[in-house]
Amino acid sequence: MSAELRKLIKDAGVRLVKENLVQGTWGNISVRSGNGKMLVTPSGMDYIRMSESDVVEVDIETLEWDKSGVKPTSEKKIHASVYRQYPNINVVLHAHPYFSSAFAAAGAVVPSAADRSENLIALGAALKAKAGGEIIVGSYGLPGTKKLTKGVVNALPGRKACLMANHGLLVLGETLEEAFELLKAIENYCEAVIRGKLLILPEQSKV
C-alpha cells in the first residue's frame, strides 16, 4: 500500500511540473496513508528528480517523521491540519498555477465578481458547486509559517479549495483524480477571466 501511494505522489509531482502547475521545487503533495499518518513530498526537491523513496511518512497528530531520512515539506502543518479536520479527505495538492496565483495575489475570490460575461458566470457557478462554495483567499503568511497555516484553516471550512494570499492554491480531494480535476477547473476559470479582462487570447500553435 505504501509503495503504491509513494508512486501516486511521485506521478502527481511529475504531472504538476509537466502541466506547469508548479515551478521549480515549489508546491507539495500529500496522501493519507492510514494509522494516523500521511505521506508527503520532501522539502526543496524537484519532482522530476525526486524518487519514490524520498516521499516522507509524517504523523498527522505529532508531525514527527524519521529524522534519519529526508526532510518533509515545510508545509506539513497545513496538510496535517486538513487531515485532522476533514476525515473524508485523502489527498491535498498545494500548487502554484499561473492564473489562480494571480487571483491569490489580488486577494480576489473565485468565482470573480469582476466578470459579467454569461458563459463565465455559468462556468463560475459550476466551479462553485464543485468546490463546495466560493473559493476565498486565506490570509497572508510566509511559506512554512503558522500564519499561513492559520490562513488556510480559516479559509477552507465547507470548501474543497482555497487560495493562499500572494502564494498559490490548495485543493483537497477524496481521490487524487478528484483533486486534480478541481485544480484544473479553478485554473481554467481563472485563466478565462484574466484573458477576457486583458483581451489576451490563448496562443494558437500551427502544429
Of the pair 18, 84, the CB lying nearest another protein is at 18
Of the pair 158, 202, the CB lying nearest another protein is at 202
In the complex, what is the shortest distance from the CB of residue 166 to another protein, in angstroms, rounded to a whole number?
6
Of the pair 2, 74, the CB lying nearest another protein is at 74
In the complex, what is the shortest distance from the CB of residue 106 to another protein, in angstroms, rounded to a whole number?
3
The three cell numbers of residue 58 are 509524517
Report in angstroms the alpha-carbon separations of 191 from 3, 5, 142.
36, 31, 25
Q: Alpha carbon 13 to chain centroid distance?
A: 11
In the complex, what is the shortest distance from the CB of residue 86 to another protein, in angstroms, rounded to a whole number?
26
Give the torsion sign (CA, 91, 93, 99, 105). positive
Of the pair 84, 146, the CB lying nearest another protein is at 146
In the complex, what is the shortest distance from the CB of residue 156 to another protein, in angstroms, rounded to a whole number?
20
CB-CB neighbours of 140 under 10 Å: 15
Of the pair 48, 122, the CB lying nearest another protein is at 48
Task: State the residues that interact with another protein by CB under 8 A.
Answer: 18, 20, 23-26, 44-46, 49, 96, 98-99, 101-108, 112, 114-115, 140, 142-143, 165-168, 190, 193-194, 197-198, 200, 203, 205-207
CB-CB neighbours of 64 under 10 Å: 11
Rounded distance between C-alpha atoms, residue 154 and residue 31, angstroms: 21
In the complex, what is the shortest distance from the CB of residue 189 to another protein, in angstroms, rounded to a whole number?
11
Task: Enumerate residues 6+ apart whose C-beta is below 8 A from 11.
Answer: none
3-class secondary structure, 110: strand
* 147, 134 Cβ separation under 8 angstroms: no
Of the pair 2, 139, the CB lying nearest another protein is at 139
In the complex, what is the shortest distance from the CB of residue 167 to another protein, in angstroms, rounded to a whole number?
6
